[in-house]
Every structure is written in C-alpha cells, then in structure tokens.
Chain A
Amino acid sequence: MELFLDFFANTGFAMADYRNLIMLGIGMLFIYLGIAKHYEPLLLVPIGFGILLGNIPVFKGLGLGIYEPNSVLHYLYFGVTQGIYPPLVFLGIGAMTDFSTLLARPVLMLLGAAAQMGIFMTFLGALALGFAPNEAASIGIIGGADGPTAIFLTAKLAKELIGPIAVAAYSYMALVPVIQPPIMRLLTTRKERLVQMEEPRQVSKREKLIFPILAVLLCCFIAPAALPLLGLLFLGNLLKEAVVTERLAQAARTSVIDSVTILLGMTVGASTQADVFLTGKSIGIFVLGAVSFGVATASGLIFAKIMNLFLKEKINPLLGAAGVSAVPDSARVVHMVGQEEDPTNYLLMHAMAPNVSGVIGSAVGAGILWSFIIG
C-alpha cells in the first residue's frame, strides 16, 4: 500500500494544481481552433500540443521538463533560446515568396514600413507600464505580427518571456481575420474601399533574381542586426528564383520549414509551464500585444490615406492593413474586406506587396531594437 501511495504521489494527478489545468485548457483550445476553426493550424496545433506537454506535472529532477538541463525538450528548446529556428523559418518563407507585385509597384513597400509603427509605439507603451527596455522591445515586436521575428528578438533580449510573447504573437496572427476588419472599416470610407488598383506591370526574371541580392545587401548594410533573418529570407528567395537550385528551394519550402515549424511550435508551447506563464506580466504582454497589432494595422491604413494625397494613381487604403507581416493572412483579409464592398475588386495580389515588405520591415525593426538594447 505504501508503495502504491508513493507511486500515486509522483503521478501528474497528485502534483497538478489549478494552474496546470488552466494551461491544459488553453492548449486544448489552441488545438480546437487549429483543427476545427482552421486558424493557423500549422502553428496552433503544434503549439497547443506543446502546451499540453509542458503542463503535464512532472517530478522535478528526472530531467523531463523543458527548463531542466539535459532533458530532451530542453535540447530541442535550444533552437528557440539561441534563435536558430526563426532564421530557418525565414529561409522557407523566402523560398515560398514571390516578390513580383512588390517589384512591379515598389511604392507599396512604404505601407510595410508604416505598419512597423506598431512595434515602436508598443515599445513606448511597455516602457510606460514599467517593463524593462529589453522586455519592452520584445513585447513591441509582437506588433510586427511575425512569430519567428518575435521569438528571435525575445530569445536575444528576454529569454524568460519567450513563452508568453510567442503565444501572444501566434495567437494574434491566427486572429488576424477577427482583429483587422473592424479597424479597417473604422478608418476607411466605403468610397475608399471601392478603389480598384491598376494591373501591375510584368516583372522580368532577371529583376526577380537581382532583387534578393540587392535587398539583402542594402537592408543589412543599413541594419546589420537584421542579418540572421533577412540573410536567410533572401537566400531562400534566391534559391527559388535561380531555378537551377530548385532542389534546394523545394527542400527549404517543404521539409526544412515543416520540420522547424514542428520543433518551434512544440517547444514554444512546452515553454508555457503554468508557474512561468500564468503571471501578471503575461497578462500585460497579451494586452500590449493586442494594442500593438491594432496600432500596426491603423498605422498602415492611415499612411495609405496620406500617400493618396500625393499619388496620381490612387491606391486602395485597405492595402495599408496588409503592411503587418502576417503572410498571407492579412493580405487575404484585405481582399475579403474589399470584396464585401465590390465582389469584382481583386486586391489579394496587390496586398501581397505591402505584406511581404512588412516581413522585411519587421525583421529590420527587430534588428534595430536588438542593436539599441545590446548596444
């Protein structure tokens, strides 16, 4: 009987407290949203399952938990804490991304820059709420709506916040179709939403080939700290456009990014152990993350309206909302909102331009914050 009681004391049933149960509920909610509601399933399912793994109460000292040295999860988590996984995700994104629309209308790139206002406004808000500068920078980057970038910067500046920041970033990315449309309708008139964009010009193969080389040199000379992310983003894109490296591009956009996404999602989820995650700071991060996302969307929309004051060929201001780098979800949302007003208005292709420039902008923003805080 004594042996049985000893065994029972070491089971999850005996060690669990209400916080574990809350986190297990959140994990199941993520899995439900991913599978049943199709909200970013490739991210939410591994993260949700990771939350379950991280919140099964385990006996400390056996080397099982993610924060225990020598545990398997700890080794897998190494790729997150050292910022290895995010650049590999960027390699895959680069190999999937077609920059044609951006090359055809480079002016739309400014919308991607404007949406990064959210990062810096939230950085100020977090400082005002009493967060340390390294934490404030990590929270601010949620406004970039770019999960890998948020994880990369947090791994460099505030490792202890990776769990809440990653979960907040991916949650808001998944909730793009819920968060953005009301802001878009609030800040634009029906007339503006009806604006039709002109067909972009044809982009030559050589332009597409030269672009990743030019872009990596220029952006990394301006903001060298963005090199790990932008370097691999543009390498992936060059592999895609070079054609002769199709095998490598194929690997980058399938096996590499898929493997890394599984490891990244699962370990980030597992890092949300109840005792680390359920704190006042996490609530603050979630609130600021939502604000950050809203400000980023609003900045893009307002900037698009300002641009229209100077442009001969007016652009649809909804495109500004695609400046946040949730690729391709925010572009898809822009297209949907545009089609609600006019079903013949196809904005998806045009919205991809600010969307991919948002990826570049948020990586540059992360690099800048990193160099400011470390410097």
Chain B
Amino acid sequence: MNGLEAIVYHNGFSMAAVGISIVFTALVALSIIIAQLHKLLLVWDNRKALIQKLRGKRNASEAAKAPEPDVSDFHNIHEEARQFNILIQVMGEPFSLPELIYLAETRGIRHPHATAAHLITKGLVFPDNKGFFLWNHEVYNQLVKGSRH
C-alpha cells in the first residue's frame, strides 16, 4: 500500500497532528513556567517583606505603633570585635572585606555589613591600600583590656 491510502490506513495524519501538538504543548508549558521562574524566586526572596506588607495593610493602625527594631546590642562593639577577630584569624591577613562579611553571614552573625562598617569607623579594620584589609591588633587589645576593667 502506498500514497495517501497508506497514510490514512495507518492513521498517519492523526498521529502526526497529535504528535506535533504534544511536542508544542510540552515545550510551550515549559517555556511559560521558566519565564515565570525568576519572578517566583523574587517573590520567595522577598516573602518576609511581602508578608509584613500584607499584615501592615490589615493592621495599619497597629503597624504605626510597631516598635523600632532592636539595635541596642549593636553598639556593643566588644562582642562584634571578638567575633570578627575569630573569623579574621581563620581567614588570615590581609583579608577581603566581602569575604569576611560573607563568612559572618554564613555563621549567623547579626548585621554583618553594618558591623563591618562600625569596625572600620572605630579603626579596628583598616585598608592595606592594595585592595585588602588588616586587623588592628593594638586597638583590639586595648578594647579587650578596657572591657575587663
């Protein structure tokens, strides 16, 4: 059997039509999902802010009275300096500031960016003028001594 007769006999037109439709369905569905993927990830990353925003809308008056974030311990430079000193001992000197902040983040140290800025302001961390940073042991030792007295 040849020609159109063979195609019709073997149900060829239906198979081809359904086949190409399924290929398109699979790839269209996949393309739609991956087109939304980065947006979904963005929503997931900002979930806390979104939840707070939603709650804020519900309880606008309560939100207005919400307490300021607790930053009282932020000014306790002794503890921050001690934690960063340990990390710097692990890393060795001179060290990269972004790497230090990353290490601090992964070890659960609070406010690593602000803390690093704070330590720089207080002169505990200072640049080596070659793109890296050094730890001021003198200032640190004085700080530790001061805290013991």
Contacts and interface: CB of A to CB of B under 8 A. Distances in A.
Given A110-B31, A128-B4, A120 B24 contact: no
A129 B19 CA distance: 20
Q: Summarize B's interface: helix, strand, loop or mixed.
A: helix
A214 interface: yes
B33 interface: yes
Contact of A211 (B7, B25, B27, B37): B37
Contacts of B20: 116-117, 120
Interface residues of A, number: 42
A368 B21 CA distance: 10
Interface in B1-34: 1-4, 6-7, 10, 12-13, 15-16, 18-20, 22-34
Contact of B6 (A128, A214, A223): A128
B21 to A, nearest CB: 10
Nearest to B2: A130
A316 B7 CA distance: 36
B64 interface: no
Contact of A124 (B2, B12, B33): B12
Nearest to B5: A128
A120 B7 CA distance: 12
A59 interface: no
A365 interface: yes
B149 interface: no
Nearest to A108: B31
B41 A107 contact: no
Nearest to A112: B27
A368 B37 contact: no
Given A127-B7, A128-B7, A110 B27 contact: yes
A132 to B, nearest CB: 8
Contacts of B22: 222-223, 364, 368
Contacts, number: 114
Contact of A365 (B23, B25, B35, B37): B23
B38 interface: yes
A368 B26 CA distance: 11
A205 B102 CA distance: 17
Q: Which of B7, B18, B19, B41 has the most CB of A within 10 A?
A: B19
Interface string B83-112: 000000000000000000000000000000
A102 interface: yes
Q: Summarize A's interface: helix, strand, loop or mixed.
A: helix
A109 to B, nearest CB: 4
A128 B5 CA distance: 8
B38 A204 contact: yes
A266 interface: no
A277 to B, nearest CB: 24
B12 to A, nearest CB: 5
A93 interface: no
B23 A364 contact: yes
A290 interface: no
B2 A128 contact: yes
Contacts of A372: 15, 18-19
A320 to B, nearest CB: 14
- Which 7 pairs across A and B sit closest by C-beta, in order of nearness? A106-B31, A120-B16, A109-B31, A113-B27, A106-B35, A222-B26, A127-B12
30 contacts: A103-B34, A106-B32, A107-B31, A107-B35, A109-B28, A110-B24, A110-B28, A113-B23, A116-B23, A120-B16, A120-B19, A120-B20, A121-B16, A123-B19, A124-B13, A127-B7, A127-B12, A128-B2, A130-B1, A136-B10, A207-B34, A214-B30, A214-B33, A223-B26, A361-B23, A361-B27, A364-B27, A368-B19, A369-B19, A372-B18
